[in-house]
């Protein structure tokens, strides 16, 4: 009984005293930072990830697809465009224009990554037509961007061109300063005629991009050959970024690129994805990447379905200082392929971590990217200038015009053709939902941990590039026999030994479409100023075509007789 009474007294005391202490605790102010509750850091998975591996902005550099192959098709719609603000520094010179970024497919993550904007010195007298994603039966297909000649505000869409011919050089070059330009088909009098290949004298600081065709849903667009700046003179390439969906869907979210890619290190680890019309840089050395169509760039000299103007220029440009440049490139590639520790880091965070652990003299070997402020301060390869807030806003507004131009292109190329005989090709779904108008929530997939996911391909019968089995006559760059390094012997998925069939289009005859003015136009160089303009266009681009036309005219006259 006494025990029960004692317990009741204790309970009553507790009930009376507890509110006093709890109230005092609630009113107790936090007087020091150490006493404040700090929320845990945001998970790394919910933060943007700057990448040191991925696609090169298509306006900065593109391989030339000679055999127009099946395009890259994904099963997920691209998100809405990210608002990009102009960086606070820009390369000095009026020729540089900010070309905004876009979403690109990443097979590793099985998701989209953002290809950041780039400062680009547009090729003189050329204007930029940006690429876009278009809806097809299988999902979303990429339609590549291209440079078109200034002076006309129209694009001509043509029927399917014939299979590519005349791949290899005819005989030896006239000198070590000549490069081989492959043949091309020209549309003339309701049919295609062949412009034969020819030898072209290389020019320091200028890269020749040969004539080729660009596939669109409406028809093939002929892109005539032109001189472009060497890669080091083209401007500033920013690192791609992976944005979790929780980041880019925030209200008012914007992004300003700030990590610059080292062009020298980029070329050391450069790859090509022909069917995506993109260069890739970074660690793509595993065999699994070959199976999804990402090849080392030296393959362009052995698999003749694409042409790599950067590789051809670098081989010529290094002929004096490094006569065995090709052999050295292959040797370095095989080293990184067999030893993963020699490969470049995939992310900026990984690069910084690895550099911190390395001796000072070895850090430059993986220094593939650096902050814009550091690049601007160094002035090693390019001069930069600071721009004020007002100018930044103006440049940002101008860059958004490129996105509008991209959407316009999607509309005029996806619009049905009025002619009854021009029926849509298989896979075409009519006018596609614009990426910028996509409002449906897109679920964010988990980061892919396993082998590379093969993106779906267009279901038209298209085979892989043909790998040349015989000897290829290359420009004479070596005076003595040089043994080639042994290639990797491991299992590699090689392209099939077939010539790829051209992709179908809706055009059955030429159709010209007037287009709006592009926001990105290359300025013509004033010969009276210090800048040196591009070399003149090769006469072979006109003369050989005219010769072929004259032959065709003579043949037509003989038929009439």
| Rounded Cα gap, residues 372 and 87, in angstroms | 9
Nearest CA-CA partner of 309 in 409, 206, 417: 206
Give bridge partners of residue 54 from the DSSP assignment.
Answer: 281
pLDDT score of 464:
44
Strands 254-255 and 83-84: parallel
Residue 203, CA distances (Å) to 11, 200, 312 in order? 96, 9, 12
Is residue 310 within 8 A of residue 95, CB to CB? The reply is no
pLDDT score of 552:
54
Which residues in the chain come in under a pLDDT of 70?
1-36, 41-46, 165-167, 415-502, 524-531, 542-561
Helices (H), 339-477: 348-357, 372-378, 389-414
Is residue 520 within 8 A of residue 97, CB to CB? The reply is yes
CA-only gyration radius of the chain, Å: 29
Nearest CA-CA partner of 434 in 391, 404, 459: 404
pLDDT score of 416:
61
**Residue 194: how many CB atoms within 10 A of its CB?**
16
pTM of the model: 0.79
Strands 384-386 and 83-84: unpaired
pLDDT score of 531:
61
Q: The tokens of 456 are what? A: 């779906």
SS3 of 375-412: the string is: HHHHCCCCCEEECCHHHHHHHHHHHHHHHHHHHHHHHH
Q: The tokens of 498 are what? A: 């077939």
| Rounded Cα gap, residues 150 and 226, in angstroms | 12
| Rounded Cα gap, residues 54 and 449, in angstroms | 17
């Amino acid at each position: 009984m006494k025990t029960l009474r004692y317990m009741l007294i204790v309970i009553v005391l507790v009930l009376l005293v507890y509110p006093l202490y709890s109230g005092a605790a609630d009113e107790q102010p936090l007087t020091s930072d150490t006493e404040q509750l700090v929320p845990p850091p945001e998970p790394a998975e919910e933060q943007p990830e700057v990448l040191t591996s991925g696609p090169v902005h298509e306006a900065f550099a593109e391989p030339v697809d000679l055999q127009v192959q099946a395009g890259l098709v994904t099963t997920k719609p691209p998100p809405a465009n990210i608002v990009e603000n102009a960086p606070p520094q820009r390369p000095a010179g009026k020729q540089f224009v900010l070309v905004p970024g876009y979403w690109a497919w990443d097979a590793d993550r099985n998701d989209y990554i953002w290809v950041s904007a780039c400062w680009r010195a547009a090729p003189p007298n050329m204007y930029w037509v940006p690429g876009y994603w278009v809806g097809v039966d299988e999902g979303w297909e990429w339609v590549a961007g291209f440079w078109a000649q200034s002076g006309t505000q129209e694009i001509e869409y043509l029927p399917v061109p014939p299979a590519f011919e005349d791949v290899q050089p005819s005989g030896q070059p006239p000198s070590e300063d000549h490069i081989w330009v492959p043949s091309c088909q020209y549309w003339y009098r309701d049919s295609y005629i062949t412009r034969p290949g020819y030898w072209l004298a290389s020019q320091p600081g200028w890269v020749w991009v040969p004539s080729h065709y660009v596939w669109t849903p409406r028809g093939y667009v002929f892109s005539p050959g032109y001189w472009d700046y060497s890669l080091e003179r083209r401007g500033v390439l920013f690192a791609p970024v992976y944005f979790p969906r929780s980041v880019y869907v925030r209200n008012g979210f914007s992004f300003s690129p700030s990590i610059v890619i080292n062009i020298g290190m980029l070329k050391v680890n450069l790859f090509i994805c022909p069917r995506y019309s993109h260069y890739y840089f970074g660690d793509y050395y595993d065999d699994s990447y070959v199976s999804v169509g990402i090849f080392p760039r030296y393959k362009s000299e052995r698999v003749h379905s694409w042409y790599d103007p950067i590789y051809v220029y670098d081989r010529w440009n290094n002929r004096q200082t490094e006569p065995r440049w090709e052999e050295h490139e292959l040797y370095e590639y095989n080293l990184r392929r067999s030893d993963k520790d020699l490969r470049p880091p995939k992310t900026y965070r990984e690069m910084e971590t690895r550099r911190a652990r390395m001796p000072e003299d070895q850090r430059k070997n993986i220094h593939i990217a650096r902050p814009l402020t550091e690049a601007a301060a160094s002035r090693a390869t390019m001069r930069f200038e600071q721009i004020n807030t007002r100018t930044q806003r103006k440049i940002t507004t101008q860059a958004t015009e490129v996105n509008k131009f991209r959407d316009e292109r999607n509309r005029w190329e996806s619009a049905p053709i009025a002619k009854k005989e021009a029926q849509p090709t298989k896979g075409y779904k009519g006018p596609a939902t614009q990426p910028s108008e996509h409002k449906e929530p897109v679920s964010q997939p988990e980061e892919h941990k396993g082998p590379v996911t093969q993106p779906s391909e267009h279901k038209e019968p298209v085979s892989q590039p043909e790998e040349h089995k015989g000897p290829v006559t290359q420009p004479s760059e070596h005076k003595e026999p040089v043994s080639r390094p042994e290639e990797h012997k491991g299992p590699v998925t090689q392209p099939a030994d077939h010539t790829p069939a051209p992709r179908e289009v809706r055009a059955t005859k030429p159709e010209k479409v007037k287009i709006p003015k592009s926001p990105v136009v290359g300025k013509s160089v004033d010969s009276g100023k210090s800048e040196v303009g591009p070399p003149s266009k090769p006469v072979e681009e006109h003369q050989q075509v005219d010769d072929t036309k004259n032959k065709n005219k003579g043949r037509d006259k003989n038929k009439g007789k």
